[in-house]
Amino acid sequence: MRLVKGNELRTRVYVDGYNLYYGRLRKSVHKWLDLRLLADQILANVPYAQGGKRAAHRFVTPAVKYFTASALGAFAKSDDSIACQGYYHDALVGHLGDQLKIIKGHYNARPARAYKWDPNKAARDCDRIDIWKLEEKRSDVALALHAYSDAIRNQVDQIVVVTNDSDFEPAMRMIREHTRAVIGLVAPIRPGTGSVSGKLEEHAHWIRRHILDEEIAKSQLPPMIRFRRDVVHKPLSWYPRPDLLVPIFEEAKRVRGSAGAARKWLNQPCAHLDGRIPILMCEHEDTAQELRNYMERYAQEFGLARSPSDQPLTQ
């Protein structure tokens, strides 16, 4: 294996987007994730050694290959799911540039029949019911091919795979057999909630068995990112308390005159609020109420108060 700068490994991270989302992000308020920053945090604490010395890492370009697929509207959990996913992908590209490559597969949905689960019966004795079978296509195959291809062509010294999908096991085995690349495995699991796939564990040089809440929280993208000629904003529904934030945003938009001006004000420290950032005050009831009170006073002072027929902000 060719090392650079002594014990430094040329490193690339391969992220299984489906596995990361459903294993770690689905119920999180930190979906606006900077994949490169998260990888940095994790790798800084990996005690992998070569020749008796701890091996450092140096990202190659692109540092992260992100394998994902666009959600299908018919199966989306909320009305804005597809739009939010698009904003996130644009934000990643705008923020990371050539340090990121997104490789997209697709979802396939088709009618199927399945056994209805009954804990008191064997599967063959259970009733069969009609279901929708939703499958992600090409993403797992693409991840395996990219990782193997990069290793066999000596583009990297270290492959870091973020997945817990045992389907990646043949690729890991072949990388170990045919190349000298170091394989790191990061399981997208919350501590204490699951275990690493034994099939993957067998072939990894080192394993990170979880991703911590604080690592995800510290690895967030900026709320506003320039993408080409536009600005991409973190979706309001991805904040901790959209129920508090959305009405405040609507009032800020009314008072400030546009959605862009409202977002700019919400994301900057406000001297009249002791230097606090308004959008962060929308995470708790008491600070959100304090913010609403200030906005009402501001609107009244500048002749922008709502008419009696308007719905009050505090309702």
Render pLDDT for 195-251 as a digit per residue (tens, 0 to 9).
999 999 999 999 999 999 999 999 999 999 999 889 999 999 999 999 999 999 999
pLDDT at 304 over 90: no
**In a 3-state reduction of DSSP, which class is residue 74?**
helix
Each domain of the chain, given as residue ranges in start order, spans 8-217, 239-301
* CA 311 – CA 199 distance, rounded (Å): 58
Nearest partner of 87 among 231, 282, 284, judged by Cα: 231
User: Could you give the CA distance from residue 160 to residue 147 in angstroms, rounded to a whole number?
Assistant: 9
In the structure, how many helices (H) and strands (E) does the chain have? 10, 11
Distance, CA of 133 to CA of 72 (rounded, Å): 13
- How far is residue 180's CA from residue 194's CA, in Å, rounded to a whole number? 30
Domain 8-217 has CATH 1.10.20.140: no
Res 34: pLDDT = 98
- The CB density around residue 231, as the number of other CB atoms within 10 Å, is 15
Average pLDDT over residues 70-87: 80
* Sheet arrangement for strand 182-186: 128-137, 100-115, 56-69, 8-16, 158-162, 182-186, 206-208
Q: Where is pLDDT greater, at 136 or 104?
A: 104
Helix (H) or strand (E) holding 103: strand 100-115
- pLDDT tops 60 at residue 60: yes
164 or 311: which carries more pLDDT confidence?
164
- Two tokens at 133? 């079978």
Query: Average of pLDDT values for 259-280?
Result: 95
Classify residue 24 by its DSSP letter.
I
In this structure, are residues 220 and 34 in contact, taking their beta carbons and an 8 Å threshold?
yes
pTM equals 0.88
Q: What is the pLDDT of residue 315?
A: 40
Separation between Cα atoms, residue 184 and residue 57, nearest integer Å: 12
pLDDT at 308: 53
Residue 222's pLDDT is what?
Answer: 95
Percent residues over pLDDT 90 in the chain: 77
pLDDT over 50 (residue 157): yes
Evaluate the CA torsion angle 156, 158, 163, 166 in order and state its sign: positive
- Give the pLDDT of residue 39: 97
Tokens of 57: 């890492």
